[in-house]
Amino acid sequence: MSIGSRMLEGFKSQAVRAILWAAVFAWAVTSIIDVSVELMPSWRPMLFTAIFLFLYVFSKVYPEKQRVTLRWTYAATLLLAVWYILYSLFGAVDVQAILFHLNYDVGSEAVQDQAFEQSMVAIIPFVLVMISWWQLAGMSRGMAFLNRCLPATLLVLNPLTWAGAAGALASAGPPPMDLSLAFKDPIGVGASGPTKNLVHIFVESAELTLWDEERFGDVARPLKNLSTRAWSAENVKQVELTGWTLAGHVASTCGVPLLSLGVIHRNSFDLVDEILPGAECLGDILKRNGYTNVFLKGASLDFAGTRGFAANHGYERLLGFDELHHRFPGRVNLWGLHDEDMLQVAYEQVSELDKQSAPYSLMLTTLGGHAPTGLISPSCEALPFVSRQPNDTLKAFACTNWLVERFVDRLERDGLLKNTIVVIQSDHLAMRNEVYGDLQASDRRNMFMVLGTEHRDTVSKPASTIDLFPTILASMGIPVPDGLAGLGVDLRGEMSTLLEKLGTDEFNRAIAQADELRDRIWGLDPQLH
């Protein structure tokens, strides 16, 4: 018998087929779960192995072929695929997002092409699941038993099932608050007296939760050192549509969540030219009041719509990876510039801005704490404070925290913080990383502090990053009427925040149905409804 014939016979054997199709099934299911819950890289091979071994063992239970009916299994699988495609396109099972595209003409060719490509990619693992299950289901009595259990299991696990139930319950209750009625347009807000310059540092994922020394050791020590001479807020929670970098920028400087345009959501805002053209944000207000505004980030500004946001909201000098990488040949990481190099550029910019007569603001965003394992700058690798941390994620946080403290101290030592406030905050809560379990077991909060004011106290009222917008303006000497701007409240005053009034769940429900507010801040024509 030839080698080819022996290989063909081997392929036909049930054992080899079981191994092959179990591997295909395990890969496809792992891919689906990975996208759905953002697995840590080290978890993927473990999950694949667990699924593969589970199937292989069941294929050996009473290994005689069985006749099976697949229609109910396939129906439940296709229903799960519907959820998965909707999740890939809209970031959630969102009927409002689907209806949005029926009411508004934002379906440019680029948007349509991306939606089609995302749908095709999303369906691939489900096609592989159905093909591999067709081969596996009848291999043994054990697999036939699994096939009978799968439809009900898939229905229970399908988020679409739970979304339908949640929608039915929500419709039975009172409608959520109309956030458009709470929105205070800050257009016309200006300085009535002396104002201060602004250095605004977004520290990637550096939530206040990491200050818990029992869980995370001394990783936040540099930021704690800075907080001793700062005013701070210690109860800044995360609400819907504020939980990634651009959304954190929008919430903190525009006072609104980054409301989606249907399939244009999260990291696909590069598909539109302007981000929130109907919103008046911090950069707009400062530019109108004579400020020079600089936007600095180590990653590419073309990713996820960052350039469209900054360029259209008052920042005339935009510096990202594409503009700066030539200065640091061979010194890049997975996302862009190392934090130490970006902070050096920031120091140079502040030095230059300090020489001019006009007031200025500089917004910069670090990369070090980025999930899943962080990005450590070269100068930190031999630093004992960093090297003694137990994993790469905490090493990265320790490194960036140390660099930020050194940067602020350097500015102060060189006399560059006269008449200047420094805002240091997390852009959002950390995503899945090596300490995610400990973070989830904690009462999670964002970090926010302001240096350079006469205040040194800590505010504990329930708030969200949306409230940081009027708080920053007031700290600069640009008060807003009644302490309100956007949906935010100046945390230094006595006014209750929306989060305080509504609670997190009700506030999130209001955000999910904020169609009128979306139309306003995106400059959409309500006549198109």
For residue 235, pLDDT over 80 is answered with: yes
In this predicted model, what pLDDT tens digit does every residue of 305-343 receive, in sequence order? Answer: 899 999 999 999 999 999 999 999 988 888 899 999 999
Average pLDDT of the chain is 87
What does the DSSP assignment read for 197-250?
EEEEEEETT--GGGG-HHHHTTTTHHHHHHHTTEEEEEEEE--TT--SHHHHHH
Q: What pTM was estimated for this model as a whole?
A: 0.83
The DSSP element (H or E) to which 471 belongs, if any, is helix 468-475
Distance CA(218)–CA(212), nearest Å, equals 8
- Ordered domains of the chain (ranges, CATH): 3-172 (no CATH), 197-524 (3.40.720.10)
Q: What is the mean pLDDT of residues 480-507?
A: 95
What pLDDT is stored for residue 99 in this prediction?
A: 47
Q: What is the mean pLDDT of residues 246-268?
A: 85
218 touches 439 (CB < 8 A): no
- Write the CB contacts of 333 (distance below 8 Å, at least 6 apart in sequence): 367, 375
297 touches 306 (CB < 8 A): yes
Q: Which of 82-91, 109-118, 167-176, 480-489 has the highest mean pLDDT?
A: 480-489
How deeply is 10 buried, as exposed, middle or buried, from its count of CB atoms within 10 A (0-12, 13-18, 19+)?
A: exposed
In this predicted model, what pLDDT tens digit does every residue of 155-169 receive, in sequence order? Answer: 888 877 776 666 655
What pLDDT is stored for residue 268 in this prediction?
A: 67
What does the DSSP assignment read for 440-461?
HTS---EEEEEESSS---EE-S
Going from the C-alpha of 378 to that of each of 345, 381, 401, the distances in angstroms are 16, 6, 14
Q: What angle do CA 440, 201, 416 make, to 5 degrees?
A: 150
353 touches 362 (CB < 8 A): yes
Q: What is the mean pLDDT of residues 350-379?
A: 94
In this predicted model, what pLDDT tens digit does every residue of 428-439 receive, in sequence order? Answer: 999 888 898 899
Q: What angle do CA 501, 174, 265 make, to 5 degrees?
A: 75
pLDDT more than 90, % of the chain: 57
Distance CA(88)–CA(166), nearest Å, equals 20
Closest CA to 468 of 192, 219, 247, 267: 247
For residue 172, pLDDT over 70 is answered with: no
Least confident range from 65-74, 209-218, 233-242, 370-379: namely: 65-74
In this predicted model, what pLDDT tens digit does every residue of 452-471 receive, in sequence order? Answer: 998 889 999 999 999 999 99
For residue 400, pLDDT over 60 is answered with: yes
What pLDDT is stored for residue 261 in this prediction?
A: 77
Length of the chain in residues, anyone?
A: 529
For residue 2, pLDDT over 70 is answered with: no
396 touches 373 (CB < 8 A): yes
- Taking residue 108's Cβ as centre, other Cβ atoms within 10 Å add up to 12
What pLDDT is stored for residue 101 in this prediction?
A: 44
Q: What is the mean pLDDT of residues 199-222?
A: 96
What are the tokens at 126?
């489900």
What are the tokens at 165?
């139930």
- Phi and psi at 366, nearest 5°, equal -85, 170
For residue 9, pLDDT over 90 is answered with: no
- Taking residue 503's Cβ as centre, other Cβ atoms within 10 Å add up to 12
In this predicted model, what pLDDT tens digit does every residue of 85-143 receive, in sequence order? Answer: 777 655 555 555 454 444 455 545 555 666 677 778 888 888 998 999 888 888 888 88
What pLDDT is stored for residue 527 in this prediction?
A: 41
Confidence label for 7 from pLDDT (cuts 50, 70 and 90): very low
333 touches 366 (CB < 8 A): no
